[in-house]
């Protein structure tokens, strides 16, 4: 019963019958829906629901949403299901009956297509009127009706094309309607239903649904409940939270791309990067970047992403090698983030400090007059690299020169950045290395003020500077204050310093007590983490 409009206003159905749409449209304009319906039923041998579906579709196509909604309201979907279900579920008992059964199937599917499309258009009409919650209910009724009509799933290639199109649209629309209505938990259930039920969806439709599901899981701000036991298969992996479910979906999307079932979409890798970074699985992410075929992903972007992954895994040498390729004169030699990243890696190793100075100077030159913040970051890394060079200098003169230049770079950086906590800590540490304890003390206090005392390394640095000035009691007060504000599992370094302070004050018994507390903490950590490892290994 598929509709097709001719230029003269004739509506042609798949069975060859036709009717003048203009005559019925006039009757609808006059409000005589029943007369138009009777005309269609007599002219095309349609039943009540099919005639209403046809009239509603005409009004919807003309843009008369409210009028279409009034027509669709007269359709009894349950009655249509009960009438069509026996014919759709009947199976041929013999080869002789096969032709008759297939013919009945075809006619019933055409009728089902017309009625289900009407309810789908009713849902769209409600959406256009701003009634997302009601639209979601109508769209859900379409899918419920399909499940009742086809109890064993939609029969693949044997299904009417228009019916399959309506089902695919409804499956994709329902979760979006739930989101618009503010029902995110229901939207999650609808996405699962869309992907787990037998809707005979094509690959592109599945991909679109999976992408939208991933976005809701990662950024929707709602924690998904685990799938129901009815949806779980024996031996199948069941994700425990949003992150695991999103990663599983993204891996399925990548597999479809590898098999050539969908087009390459860079946003999939962006979501995958975010998800695996949250999960701390940067080594897995690195393998995914390595497996991307050449030409699908910009190679410089891939090198940079791989460098980030390797750096997160502690493989700084591999990360730096990738950045060297990235910053080659034939690639992207002036890319500021990559230059700063290379300078950061070099600032963590005295043997790479000389190379880091070059990167930092390039970053400062490229950021001059362009980005004040990035220039300050470059100055910071320059100061750190020069400080590292001073530690391995061969002569006192070279060491002194590096130390002076390091402080100069850090002072210039903090003049541009103001109260940047990282710079305050670096300045305090550099002054402490150069035995300027008063300046080190001042910047350590400023660091604690800037961070609100929430970072334990600031307390440790302050205590060490006070200890260098032989102010042991004050250093002990600082450590006690830090212990009170620090979580139990992070108190180990603080207890170790407290024990050393007690020993420096010739208080061996109190030092022993501090070491006893430290030992108890270490044993508790081993027991706890050992239990977690054994549990995860089962």
Query: For residues 283 and 275, what is the distance between their CA atoms, to the nearest angstrom?
Result: 13
What pLDDT is recorded for position 264? 85
Classify residue 297 by its DSSP letter: B
Contact between 358 and 352 (Cβ < 8 Å): no
Domain over 1-181 is classified CATH 3.10.290 = no
| Of 236, 217, 233, 235, nearest in space to 225 by CA | 217
What pLDDT is recorded for position 379? 94
What pLDDT is recorded for position 14? 38
Q: Is 156 exposed, middle or buried (0-12, 13-18, 19+ CB in 10 A)?
A: exposed
Q: Element (H or E) spanning 384, and its range?
A: helix 372-391
What pLDDT is recorded for position 216? 94
Domain ranges of the chain: 1-181, 202-224+239-279
- Give this prediction's pTM: 0.74
Q: Element (H or E) spanning 106, and its range?
A: helix 95-128
4: β partners: 12
What pLDDT is recorded for position 115? 86
3 state DSSP class of 11: strand
Distance of CA 269 to the CA centre of its chain: 10
Secondary structure string (H, E, C) spanning 128-148: HCCCHHHHHHHHHHHHHHHHH
What pLDDT is recorded for position 172? 94
Query: For residues 2 and 302, what is the distance between their CA atoms, to the nearest angstrom?
Result: 49
Residue segments in the chain with a per-residue pLDDT below the cut of 50: 1-28, 30, 40-45, 92-104, 531-538
Render pLDDT for 227-274 as a digit per residue (tens, 0 to 9): 665 555 555 677 888 999 999 999 999 888 888 888 888 899 999 999
């Amino acid at each position: 019963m598929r509709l097709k409009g001719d230029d003269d206003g004739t509506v042609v159905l798949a069975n060859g019958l036709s009717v003048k749409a203009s005559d019925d449209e006039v009757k609808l304009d006059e409000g005589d829906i029943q007369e138009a319906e009777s005309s269609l039923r007599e002219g095309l041998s349609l039943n009540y629901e099919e005639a209403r579906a046809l009239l509603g579709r005409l009004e919807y196509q003309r843009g008369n949403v409210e009028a279409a909604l009034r027509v669709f309201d007269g359709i009894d979907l349950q009655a249509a299901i009960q009438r069509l279900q026996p014919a759709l579920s009947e199976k041929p008992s013999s080869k002789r009956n096969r032709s008759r059964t297939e013919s009945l199937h075809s006619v019933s599917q055409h009728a089902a297509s017309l009625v289900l499309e009407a309810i789908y258009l009713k849902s769209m009409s409600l959406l256009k009127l701003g009634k997302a919650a009601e639209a979601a209910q109508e769209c859900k009724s379409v899918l419920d009706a399909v499940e009742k009509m086809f109890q064993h799933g939609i029969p693949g290639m044997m299904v009417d094309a228009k019916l399959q199109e309506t089902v695919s649209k409804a499956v994709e629309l329902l979760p979006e309607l739930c989101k618009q209505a503010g029902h995110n938990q229901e939207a999650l259930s609808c996405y699962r239903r869309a992907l787990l039920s037998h809707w005979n969806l094509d690959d592109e439709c599945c991909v679109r649904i999976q992408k939208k599901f991933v976005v809701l899981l990662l950024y929707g701000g709602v924690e998904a409940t685990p799938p129901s036991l009815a949806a779980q298969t024996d031996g199948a992996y069941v994700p425990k939270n949003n992150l695991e479910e999103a990663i599983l979906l993204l891996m399925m999307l990548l597999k479809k791309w590898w098999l050539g079932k969908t087009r390459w979409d860079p946003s999939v890798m962006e979501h995958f990067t975010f998800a695996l970074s949250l999960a701390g699985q940067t080594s897995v992410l690195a393998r995914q970047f390595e497996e991307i075929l050449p030409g699908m992903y910009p190679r410089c972007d891939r090198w940079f992403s791989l460098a980030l992954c390797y750096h997160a895994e502690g493989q700084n040498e591999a990360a730096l090698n990738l950045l060297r390729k990235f910053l080659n004169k034939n690639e992207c030699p002036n890319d500021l983030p990559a230059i700063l990243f290379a300078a950061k890696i070099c600032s963590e190793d005295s043997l790479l400090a000389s190379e880091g100075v070059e990167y930092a100077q390039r970053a400062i030159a490229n950021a001059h007059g362009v980005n004040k913040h990035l220039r300050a970051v470059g100055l910071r890394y320059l100061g750190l690299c020069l400080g590292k060079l001073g530690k391995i200098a061969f002569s006192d003169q070279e060491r002194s020169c590096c130390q002076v230049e390091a402080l100069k770079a850090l002072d210039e950086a903090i003049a541009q950045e103001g109260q940047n906590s990282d710079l305050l800590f670096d300045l305090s540490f550099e002054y402490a290395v150069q035995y300027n304890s008063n300046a080190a003390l001042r910047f350590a206090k400023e660091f604690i003020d800037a961070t609100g005392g929430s970072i334990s390394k600031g307390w440790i640095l302050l205590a060490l500077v006070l200890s260098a000035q032989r102010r042991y009691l004050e250093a002990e007060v600082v450590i006690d204050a830090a212990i009170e504000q620090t979580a139990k599992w992070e108190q180990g370094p603080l207890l170790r310093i407290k024990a050393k302070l007690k020993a420096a004050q010739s208080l061996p018994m109190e030092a022993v007590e501090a070491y006893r507390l430290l030992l108890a903490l270490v044993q508790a950590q081993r027991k706890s983490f050992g239990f977690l490892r054994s549990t995860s290994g089962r």
